Structure formats: structure tokens, C-alpha cells
A and B are shown apart, each in its own frame.
Chain A
Amino acid sequence: MSAPALAIENLDKSFDRPVVHGLNLTVASGEFYALLGPNGAGKTTILRMVAGLLAPDAGKIEIFGTDVLKDPVGAKRLLAWVSDEPMVYDRLTPLEYLDFVAGLWQVDPDHARDTANDLLALLGLAPHANELCGGFSKGMLQKVALAGALIHDPRLIILDEPLTGLDAGSARQVKDVLLEKVRQGVTIIMTTHILEVAERMAQRIGVIAGGRLIAEGTLAELRARVGRESTLEEIFLELVETGQADA
């Protein structure tokens, strides 16, 4: 059996108070997983630990069997991280940005050139390929950041609120690209406050509250847990309320 895309065991992280507490989470290879939770639930903290941007206090994180703490460079080769604030340089063009990212991941130059051109065309950025990113809208910057995440063909893509601030057209382009990646076998883990997006795109949904995973499953499984036919919004609100009361 192949290793899961992500395996988290007993993960703890505290700042001035516990933010993540005894978290266990497994995401299968090729899965589209949505992580939901109210503000301050610990979603971003969890994902930043997975991406190697934060050190956990305790616990284990493995990406396709590679321990993030023991072999951070090996783990980073496999993943891409896209934050809600696009990580793009104002004074580089999208093409230069992709060239930079490809260089960091040591992607074969010929392959990187072709992929960059494809991605820029796919995300509607081709006409702006040689313009400095400084004048771009939030949506355009988010698409440049996403192109950067995809240029090195990651096996796991982690996205923190990738659709925040995007207009309908841009959001559609991003969603299409992500779904295509899942079809190609890439694993995606995404946090979002737009529950409709999670409902439509994710194969499995995890609900986090108070730094713990309080519910997990397909939409049908979550409905069954609540015990009635509801929208994800209603299920989410009920689960969070119950979860917070239990905590």
C-alpha cells in the first residue's frame, strides 16, 4: 500500500495558549481535502507546520512517507504552499517569478519553460507575462502565486484560503486548474470559508475547532453524523457548536 499524501500524528502547538492539540489527520494520495473551521480554529497553524514554516511542539508529520521534521528538504520537494496573502515580488514579472520558482525547485529548464507558458495561458496571465507584478490586482497576484506552486509539479498542494478576494471569473479559473490537478493524481488540501466551494470540490472534509479535528468524512458521512439532510453550512455550524461545547 502506498504512503498517504499526509499523515499527522498527535500534533501539538501552543503560542500563548494551545492552538493545536493532539491532532491526527490522514489524507490519501490523489484526494481533494477541505479543512474547515471557524476563525482561530488552528487551520493555518496546522498547514504552516505541514509546509515546514512552523515547528510543532510535539507530534509527527509525514508527506508521502517523508518525515517533515527529519527530512525537511525531501518533504519540501513534494509539496507546494499557497497562502492567502500571495507571495509574489512586486518588481518581478510573472515569467521571471516562475523562472525563480523553477530555479529553486531545480526544474528542468525546458520543461519549466513549457509549463510556465501553459500555466500563464491557462490562468489568463499570458498577456501580462512581462509586466511587473506590482500593479496587479489581488486576484492576478493569487493566480501568479498558484502558477508558482504548480510549476514544479508538486504531489501535494496546500492552499490556505486561495479563493479569498478573487472575482467570479478568476475563482472559476483557479477551481478548474485545481480540479484538473486532482484528476492528474495530485493531492490537494485546502482551507476555505466559502463552504459552497468545499461542498462542490472536496472529496472529504475535515472540521477543526479549538485545534482539534471534531469531524471528518465525505459530505454524505457528515450529513449522516448530524442525522438529517442539510447543507454543508448547517452541518458545519452544528458540528462547530457541538465541538466547542464538548471542548
Chain B
Amino acid sequence: MAAPGSLLWFARHELRLSWRDWLAMMTGGRRVRLIGFTVGGFAIYALLHLIAAAIIAPPAAKDITADKSTLVMVTGTGLLFFSVMLSQALESITRVYYARSDLDLILSSPASTRRLFAVRTGAVALSTAVLSALLASPIINVLIAFAGPHWLWAYLVLPAFAALAVALAMAMTMGLFQLVGPKRTRLIAQILAAIVGAGFVIGIQAVAILSFDSYSRFSLFSSPELIADLPDAESPLWLPARAVMGDATAAIPVIATCLAILTIAMLFFSPSYGRLAIAAASVGQTGRGRARAGKHFTRRSPAQVLRQKEWRLLQRDPWLLSQTLMQMLYLVPPALLLWVNYGEGAGAFVVIVPVLVMAAGQLAGGLAWLALSGEDAFDLVATAPIPSRDILRAKIEAVLVVVAVVLAPLLALLALNDWTMALATGLCAALSAASATAIQVWFRVPMRRAMFRRRQVASRAATISEAFASITWAGTGALLSMGSWVAGLTAIIAIGVLGIARSLSPHRS
């Protein structure tokens, strides 16, 4: 039995809370849902293995040597994973400082805040490692099966990199506390997390587009020019790649270094934890900022009033800012492709169509959740003397206008090159946005706006159908642009997805 207040005691407390939280999110209090989730999860996991096998098995079956080009490819792919790890770690570490829940209780007790910090950052490292291992495991497992058991080292190297990501995230958070203070650290860390998570992927994609006219991020890693410019295969720069590939002489120092960095970071940053957590608590989530005095009390219809309120809240929501930023970042590569290929024929644009359609769906889904479910004054709006269908219509209009404003410039640019393709993209983007919005209407459940991050676990059926609808409309858009009759088939599948979502939903209005 661990002594109260000890490291082990705190770890057990955290583990119990996390387990119950996870269980509640997954099951929603129903055992059947957990069984469904487990079966579905295994099916998807198996499918990912099949996809990985189809792509990796043929080259893996040949002897993979640690030559320079392989090391570049492994390092590049590893950096992609690391950017996701760092993004997740940055967000989680910020939460260690800002999430209130039991922090007030613990900080007001005589328990050691250093131990609490150690346990919570350790938990972040563990969850980051598990998530990234889970994401990479189909690739690693296929490599183990086809290229040899030495790839098992990857399962030790990945957690080590997760530890490094957490240490880096701690340093970045501390840097932000020093630079901008506790009031702005949370917001900037969220934006940074979004940029780190998507930025690296987008960045190398952008380089690939600008330099190689290719949409694939992997074209950069296999470029002879890049490989020639990089150090030789014996360089210590490739130690992490060698470690992942199962070279024990590289893996042991890499793992040791990463763990040492995390330990040093924990020792270095833990003394200030209590002080900074208290400083973060005194800030509150939004602070008592002043708003620019505008023109109030003008004659408008209730629908105008509702739309304006939605837009004003979206504009002032830093949470949403970081989420929207992610969506916008994914639009950068298609924009670049448009710019690079402007006036040189429309062949390359087919790649853009599904990205724009997907982005429209995802953006509309997020915004619709905020407008419909994340209505903080739900009772107020519901007791207003306006028919509920008019309220719903005004909110949907507010969402779709934002999506249209974001996509319009790209569609206009596309139309200058090929108006039929722009028309197909516009049509499918509208259908994708409308589908995502409809799903949010059917699955709306009043929640606090601040719960935006949890919207995806609030209803798995809504999340999955929203994603499937966006993907099928994206496929329809691409096929329609190519003039393929199969577009009709994917459109039918998309409508089918909507039908299933509607039948599963609690609101069928």
C-alpha cells in the first residue's frame, strides 16, 4: 500500500481517474457500447494492418539496408510522427497547468506539488507514447513480420521520443510563461500545438509542391537533390533512424538520452509548478477583457440578431481560433498547388478537389457544433419568442456563410483555370458542409462551448458519420472533376451515410 502523498499514491490516484474518465467517454454508461467500440476498434486496427502490408510488405520483403536514402526516408517519416507527438504533448502539458478539476484541492493540501507534477507529466509522456505507438504499430508490425524482429526496437524508441517530446513541450510551455505570462500562455500554446501538429506536415508538403510539383510529402524525402545535400550515412544525425531500424548500438544511447532529457526537465521545471499553476488559476479561462464598443440596439430581425451573435462569438473564441487554424493550414497546400500551376492546365487540380471538399465538411461540422450544441445560453434562446425552426435556420445560415467565405477565394481561383471543376468542387463542398451541418443538427445536445474538444467523444456515431460523409463527398468531387460516372456511386454512398446517421440520431427533425 503506497503511503498517502507519495509518488506511487499520486500515480494510483491519476490512473484511477483516467481509467474512469476513459471508460465513461467510451461507454456512456452502457456496456453494449463498449463491446461495439472494442469490436469496431479491432476491425479498424486490422484494416490498417492490411493497408500497411499492401504498401510496405513488398519493399520490406527485400533486404532493407541502412543506406543514406533509407535513413532519410525513416528520419522524415519519424519527424512526421514526432511533430504529432510534440503537438499532443504541448496541449497536454498546458492542461497540466490550467485544468482546474482537483488542482485547487491538491494545491491547498500539504502534499508535494513536485510529486504531482512528476506524475502528471509522466502520464502525459505515457499517453503520448501509447498513442503514437498505436498509430505507428501497423507499420512497425508489418516491418517486424516482413523485414525482421530487429524492428521491435521501434517499440522502445517510440516511447523514448515521446519522452523527448514531453520534455520539449515542458520547455516550450515554460518559455511561454516567461515570455507572455500565464494570461496568454494557454491560448498561444494551443495555437502552437496546432501549428506544430499540422505545420510540419503542411510545410514539407508545401516544399514538395513548390520544388517537385507533387502533392506527396514523401517525394521530398526521396528527392536525390535533398539526399545528396545531407550528411553521410555514418553521421550521428541518423542515429535516431538507425535506432528505429533496430541497430542496438544506436538505440541504447538514443533511448538513454531521451529519458535523461525528460528526467532533467522534470527536475528542473517541477519546483515552479505550484507557483505557475496558482498563477494560471488566477487568470481564469477568458479574463475580464474589454470589447470594442460597437453600435448597439439597432433594428434587426431575430435571425440577423442570432447570426451576428454567432459570428461575434466565433470571432472572439480563442479555442476555436486554434481549431480553425488547423482547418486553414490544410488549405495551404491546395492553395499553393493552385498558385504554382496557375494557367498550366487543370490536370493537377484534381488533387485539390477532395481536399477542399473535406475541409468544407470538417469546418462546417466544427462550426455547427459550436452554434447548435455549444449554445451557452440555450435556455435563453429556447425561451425567446421565435419558432424553433427559425432559430435553427439562422444558426445554420451563420455556419454556412463562414464556410462559404473561407472557401470562396480558392474556388474563384480554381474557376479562373477551369470553371467546370470549380463548379463540381463548389457543389460537393456545399454538399459536404450541408451534410456535416445536418449531422450536427440531428445529434445536437446542449453542452458548454468550452467542451468543444470533447465534441468528438460526445457522440461517436456523429463523428464517424461526419467523417464518412466528408470523405465520400470528397471522392464524389474528385470523380466528378475527372468526368467519371463512378461519382454517382460515391454520391449514393454519401446519401446512404446520411440516412444511417439520421436513423441513429436522437433528433430527426
Name the interface residues of A35-54: CB closer than 8 Å to any CB of B: 51-53
Q: Say yes or no: A87 contacts B376, CB within 8 Å.
A: yes
**Is B299 located at the chain interface by the 8 A CB criterion?**
yes
Q: B286 to A91, Cβ gap below 8 A?
A: yes
User: In the bound complex, how far is the Cα of B285 from the Cα of A88, in angstroms?
Assistant: 15
Chain B residues whose CB sits within 8 angstroms of the CB of A99 once the complex forms = 296-297
Q: Is B343 an interface residue (CB 8 A)?
A: no
Residue B20 lies at the interface, judged by CB distance under 8 Å to chain A: no
Instruction: Output the nearest chain B residue to A135 by Cβ-Cβ distance.
Output: B288
Q: Are A113 and B297 in contact (CB under 8 A)?
A: yes
Q: Answer yes or no: B304 CB below 8 A from chain A CBs.
A: yes
List A contacts of B32 (CB < 8 A).
none
Complex interface: stretch among B350-358, B378-386, B430-438, B463-471: B378-386
Q: Which of A76, A101, A103, A130 has the most CB of B within 10 A?
A: A103
| A55-107 residues at the B interface, CB under 8 angstroms | 73-74, 76-77, 79-81, 83, 87-93, 95-96, 98-106
Q: Which residues of B contact A222 (CB under 8 A)?
A: none
Residue of A nearest to B384 (CB): A104
B167 CB to closest chain A CB (Å) equals 33
Chain A proximity mask over B359-386: 1 for CB below 8 Å, otherwise 0: 0000000000000000011111111111
A148 at the interface (CB under 8 A from B): yes
CB under 8 Å from chain A, chain B span 300-326? 300, 302, 304-306, 309, 312-313, 316-317
Residues of B within 8 A of A77 (CB): 385
Question: Which residues on the B side are within 8 Å of A53 (C-beta)?
Answer: 379, 382-383
Q: Which of B284, B313, B384 contacts A89 (CB 8 A)?
A: B313
Q: Considering only CB atoms, which chain A residue lies closest to B317 in the complex?
A: A91
Q: What residues of chain B lie closer than 8 Å to A80, measured between beta carbons?
A: 383
Give the docked Cα–Cα distance between A83 and B376 (Å). Answer: 13
Q: Are A81 and B296 in contact (CB under 8 A)?
A: no
Asked if B379 contacts A105 (CB within 8 A), the reply is no
Cα distance, A128 to B293, chains bound together (Å)? 12
How many A residues, CB 8 Å from partner?
43
Q: In B155-209, which residues have CB < 8 Å from any A CB?
A: none
How many residues of B are counted as interface, with CB atoms below 8 angstroms from the partner's CB atoms? 37
1/0 contact trace for B265-309 toward A, CB 8 Å?
A: 000000000000000000011111111011011111010111001
> Is B347 in contact with chain A by the CB < 8 A criterion?
no
Given contacts A132-B286, A135-B288, A135-B289, contact A148 B380 (CB under 8 A): yes
Q: CA of A97 to CA of B284 in the docked complex: distance in angstroms?
A: 20
Kindly list chain B residues whose C-beta atoms are within 8 Å of the C-beta of A199.
none
- Give bound CA distance, A148 to B383, whole Å: 12
What chain B residues lie within 8 Å of A113 (beta carbons)?
296-297
Contact of A104 among B285, B286, B302, B379 (CB under 8 A): B302
Q: With A53-B379, A53-B382 known to touch, is A134 a contact of B284 (CB < 8 Å)?
A: yes
The reply to whether B382 and A92 contact each other, CB–CB distance below 8 Å, is no
| A106 contacts across to B, CB distance below 8 A | 302, 385
B387 interfacial by beta-carbon distance below 8 Å: yes
Residue pair A93, B385 in contact (C-beta under 8 Å)? no
Which residue on chain B has the smallest CB distance to residue A83? B379
Q: Which residue of B lies closest to A110 (CB)?
A: B297
Q: Which A-chain residue is minimally distant from B388 (CB atoms)? A: A72
**B290 touching A132, Cβ below 8 Å:** yes
Residues from chain A with Cβ under 8 Å of B288 in the complex: 128, 131-132, 134-136
CB contacts (< 8 Å) of A110 on chain B: these are 297
Given A88-B377, A99-B296; A52-B302 close (CB under 8 Å): no
Measured between alpha carbons, how far is A83 from B284 in the docked complex, in Å?
A: 23
Residue of B nearest to A112 (CB): B297
In the assembled complex, the Cα of A87 lies from the Cα of B378 at a distance in Å of 7
Q: Which residues of B contact A105 (CB under 8 A)?
A: 384-385
Cα-based distance from A96 to B309 in the complex (angstroms): 9
A 99-124 contacts with B by CB, 8 A: 99-106, 109-110, 112-113, 116
Minimum CB–CB distance for A95 against chain B, Å:
6
**Given A76-B384, A104-B305, A135-B286, A130-B293 contact (CB < 8 Å):** yes
- In the complex, the answer to whether A103 meets B302 with C-beta atoms within 8 Å is yes
A112–B299 alpha-carbon span in the complex (Å): 10
Q: A77-B385, A132-B286, A132-B290 are in contact. Are A100 and B309 (CB under 8 A)?
A: yes
Q: Are A134 and B289 in contact (CB under 8 A)?
A: yes
- State the Cβ distance, B445 to closest chain A Cβ, in Å: 15
By beta carbon, the residue of chain B nearest A128 is: B288
Whether B291 and A130, one on each chain, are in contact in the complex, defined by CB atoms closer than 8 angstroms, is yes
Of the residues B287, B293, B298, B378, contact of A134 by C-beta under 8 Å = B287
- Check B382 against A52 for contact (C-beta < 8 Å): yes
Contacts of B306 in A (CB 8 A): 104
Pull 19 A–B residue pairs with CB atoms less than 8 Å apart, ordered by A.
A51-B383, A88-B377, A89-B309, A89-B313, A89-B377, A91-B317, A92-B291, A95-B296, A105-B384, A106-B302, A110-B297, A112-B297, A113-B297, A131-B289, A132-B291, A134-B286, A135-B286, A135-B287, A145-B380
Nearest first, the 3 closest Cβ-Cβ pairs linking A and B are: A135-B288, A134-B286, A103-B305
With A96-B312, A132-B316, A134-B285 already in contact, 7 other A-B pairs whose C-beta atoms are closer than 8 Å: A81-B380, A87-B379, A103-B302, A104-B380, A109-B297, A134-B286, A135-B284
